[in-house]
């Protein structure tokens, strides 16, 4: 049995599937990731500030105009559509598996693919949060160059910036789903950013699968590693699942 067939068998015989996704699952939808050759973190602002620093609470509070300009230009992809990778996870759910997707992505593409249990570790760029804590759609905000307001209240994008804590409830639910999972599938993440990367250590089984084009600092801990494009891998696994 080859490795892809083996992974497909694991899916067929696993009820609870926990999936951790990162930017690499959305590159095939035209959204750049962060740390690859064409990733966002290879860029800097006109003032020479690395993009990684732009996505921080301190940059946002000190330079809101520049933050919003880059947010609109680099982080919003309203026309992006889900790809083979996102639809694969939806199909697992349709096939009767109990699928929980824990994503670091802010693009909302898992939900657009129809997946129902999606835990967003870093928030969602299509949503905003008001100063009194209510969550609304970005479309409801009145926006100018350096500010968002909704019904007179100050608001901000509902994404987690460096220097901010992750939502505790989302983190707890993620830990629970991973610790109870029969299989752990990790797709398209460099496993560089914590606490997201550390979630893999919550998994208690021996069916851990990593699909990522490049190696990661934590690759050695996986039972099965596929260093290939997600779309290509999915098509192959799907053939075994459909057979």
Active site residue ranges = 122
Question: What's the closest the beta carbon of residue 15 comes to ligand OAD, in angstroms?
Answer: 26
Q: By beta-carbon distance, which residue lies closest to ligand OAD?
A: 24
Shorter beta-carbon distance to ligand OAD: residue 16 or 35: 35
122 scored as a contact of ligand OAD (CB under 6 A)? yes
Q: Which is nearer to ligand OAD, 126 or 188 (CB)?
A: 188
C-alpha neighbours within 13 Å on the C-beta side of residue 5: 3
Scanning 26-34, 93-101, 132-140, 145-153 for contacts with ligand OAD by CB under 6 A, the matching segment is 26-34
Among 84, 100, 104, 115, binds ligand OAD (CB under 6 A): 104
Segment near ligand OAD (CB under 6 A); pick from 20-28, 108-116, 141-149, 175-183: 20-28
Binding segment for ligand OAD (CB under 6 A), chosen from 141-149, 168-176, 199-207, 211-219, is: 211-219
- Residue selected from 7, 8, 19, 22 as contacting ligand OAD according to rule CB under 6 A: 22
Which residues lie near ligand OAD (CB under 6 A)? 22-24, 27-28, 33-36, 39, 55, 104, 122, 160, 188-190, 192-193, 212-214, 229-230
């Amino acid at each position: 049995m080859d490795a892809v067939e083996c992974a497909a068998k694991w899916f067929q015989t696993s009820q609870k599937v926990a999936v951790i996704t990162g930017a690499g699952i959305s590159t095939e939808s035209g959204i750049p990731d962060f740390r690859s050759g064409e990733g966002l973190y290879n860029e800097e602002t006109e003032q020479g500030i690395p993009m990684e620093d732009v996505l921080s609470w301190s940059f946002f509070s000190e330079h809101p105009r520049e933050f919003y300009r880059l947010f609109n230009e680099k982080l919003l992809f309203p026309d992006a559509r889900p790809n083979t990778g996102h639809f694969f996870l939806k199909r697992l759910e349709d096939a009767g598996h109990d699928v929980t997707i824990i994503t670091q992505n802010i693009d909302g593409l898992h939900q657009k693919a129809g997946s129902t249990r999606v835990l967003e570790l870093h928030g969602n760029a299509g949503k905003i949060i008001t100063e009194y804590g209510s969550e609304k759609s970005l479309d409801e905000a009145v926006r100018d160059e350096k500010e968002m307001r909704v019904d007179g209240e100050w608001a901000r994008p509902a994404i987690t910036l460096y220097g901010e804590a992750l939502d505790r409830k989302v983190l707890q639910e993620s830990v629970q789903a991973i610790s109870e999972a029969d299989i752990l599938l990790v797709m398209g993440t460099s496993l560089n950013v914590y606490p997201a990367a550390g979630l893999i250590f919550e998994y208690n089984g021996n069916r851990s699968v990593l699909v990522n084009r490049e190696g990661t600092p934590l690759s050695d801990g996986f039972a099965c590693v596929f260093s290939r494009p997600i779309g290509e891998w999915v098509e192959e696994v799907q053939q075994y699942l459909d057979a």
